[in-house]
Amino acid sequence: MSKKTEVALIKGDGIGIDVTDATVAVVNAALDRTGGAKLIYKPINAGAAYFGETGRDIELGGEDAAGKCDAIFLGAIGLPSIRHPDGTEISPHLRLRDQFGLYAGVRPIRAYPNAPQRLADPKAQNIDMIILRESTEGLFYSAAVHGRSQIIEDVEVKDTLRVTRATSEKLHRFAFRLAEKRKARGKLGRLTCVDKANVFTSMAFFRKIFDEVSREFPDVDVSYNYVDAMALDLIRQPWNFDIMVMENMFGDILSDLAGGLVGGMGMACCAEIGDAHGLFQPAHGSAPDIIGQDKANPLAAILSGSLMLDYLAEKSGEECFADASHLIDSAVEIGFSENLLRPMEFGGDMGTKAVTKTIIELTKGKQ
């Protein structure tokens, strides 16, 4: 390779440290197998524990250092015992989304054989969809930079919900292109706009821009759903959906619901993509109740590492990254299919280290 590929590594809090270490080990093993590039990791201190020690939620110069890297990987941020005076948790990752314009939050939801499936219908075994969450605006706009909320005489609080044309256009174009890619790979390829356009002007505006962008992609099948109906349909008929694009808070809630359909948050991987940067993280929290107990399911983080490799492949044109991503995805699929992966989160007998070791062996073609 002509250029070194650098990854900003923010382990964060709690089990974020364990699952990040697991991801680095798996990603390195997959890249070793492809015979391609090696990643250079740039550790950056951030999180609630760091805030408790220093009064800063990220080390001095940390944001700039992260922005200079080719990708950012984050383990988990937050500890319930360490909060701002107003009661909100420490959340530098929200500021990173805002600073780097990471508008496209990609949340894959996929069912695996032998993993828990909460729905009895046999079609639930084939759930394979994406919740595409706008990640810089919406109701999270006030939280991205701490202090944007307005507290009025301790009797009223106002949080701003923001939807802009510029960001919504980019998000919807990203959504339509993703639908085209998935259709080309044999997926359903249907794109659903999820909103509350019947009540809120902001959501009507969001849908209006969706309709405008849709004219650029006449071959993509589109549909619409109000967010409350979408919550019901995720329980009633999730197999009828492929990509759902929505506002930030709606995506935060529905992606957790959908994750529960295919096992739990231990499977909830996430990519947050902007025009020039990408951040990758498991969507679960820091789980302080199991810190240091070798109980965390690292698969959400490992699958996020695979998403990172796929992103680096597209960004750099280096096939070794795409090959390594495919190795990891295949290892997880085989691991569940052959009952080699039994995370404690699912009532199994395998902790963080055992799951990680199994994935590494499977990327090497060993069982």
**Predicted pLDDT of residue 144:** 66
Torsion of CA 33, 37, 42, 43, to 10 degrees: -10
Higher pLDDT, 264 or 233: 233
Domain boundary among 208, 226, 261: 261
Domain co-membership, 218 together with 287: no
Lookup result for tokens 């805030």: 51
Evaluate whether residue 108 is within a structural domain: no
Domain co-membership, 86 together with 8: yes
Give per-residue pLDDT as tens, 305-320: 999 999 999 999 899 9
Lookup result for tokens 């935060």: 252
Q: Would the pLDDT of 1 be above 50?
A: no
Q: How confident is residue 366, by pLDDT bands cut at 50, 70 and 90?
A: low
Domain co-membership, 132 together with 98: no
Domain co-membership, 121 together with 255: yes
Domain co-membership, 279 together with 155: no
Give per-residue pLDDT as tens, 43-97: 999 999 999 999 999 999 999 999 999 999 999 999 999 998 888 888 899 999 9
Evaluate whether residue 196 is within a structural domain: yes
Please tell me the distance from the alpha carbon of residue 28 to that of residue 113, in angstroms, as a whole number: 26
Domain co-membership, 90 together with 198: no
Please tell me the distance from the alpha carbon of residue 107 to that of residue 268, in angstroms, as a whole number: 7
Please tell me the distance from the alpha carbon of residue 41 to that of residue 9, in angstroms, as a whole number: 6
**What is the pTM (predicted TM-score) of this model?**
0.94
What residue numbers bound the domain in which 32 lies?
1-103+274-367
Evaluate whether residue 285 is within a structural domain: yes
Please tell me the distance from the alpha carbon of residue 308 to that of residue 317, in angstroms, as a whole number: 14
Find, among 274, 286, 269, 296, the residue nearest to 353 by Cα. Answer: 296
Domain co-membership, 314 together with 337: yes
Question: How many distinct structural domains can be found in the chain?
Answer: 2
Domain co-membership, 125 together with 254: yes
Evaluate whether residue 110 is within a structural domain: no
Domain co-membership, 284 together with 323: yes
Domain boundary among 215, 237, 261: 261
Domain boundary among 261, 293, 321: 261
**Predicted pLDDT of residue 86:** 80
Q: How confident is residue 28, by pLDDT bands cut at 50, 70 and 90?
A: very high
Domain co-membership, 251 together with 183: yes
Q: Render 52-107 in DSSP notation, one character per residue.
A: HHHS-SB-TTHHHHHHHSSEEEEEE--BTTBB-TTSPBP-HHHHHHHHHT--EEEE
How far from the centroid of its chain's Cα atoms is residue 245's Cα? 14
Q: Render 6-59 in DSSP notation, one character per residue.
A: EEEEEEESTHHHHHHHHHHHHHHHHHHHHT---EEEEE--BSHHHHHHHS-SB-
Evaluate whether residue 187 is within a structural domain: yes
Domain co-membership, 251 together with 280: no
pLDDT > 90 in the chain, percent: 85
Q: How confident is residue 162, by pLDDT bands cut at 50, 70 and 90?
A: very high
Evaluate whether residue 109 is within a structural domain: no
Give per-residue pLDDT as tens, 277-314: 999 999 999 999 998 899 999 999 999 999 999 999 99
Evaluate whether residue 266 is within a structural domain: no
Q: Assign residue 348 a region (left: φ > 0; alpha: ψ between -120 and 50; beta: otherwise).
A: beta
Q: Roughly what angle, to the nearest 10 degrees, separates helices 299-316 and 15-34?
A: 50
CATH number at residue 56: 3.40.718.10
**Predicted pLDDT of residue 159:** 87
Please tell me the distance from the alpha carbon of residue 107 to that of residue 322, in angstroms, as a whole number: 19
Higher pLDDT, 113 or 147: 113
Domain co-membership, 198 together with 319: no
Q: Would the pLDDT of 2 be above 60?
A: no
Evaluate whether residue 61 is within a structural domain: yes
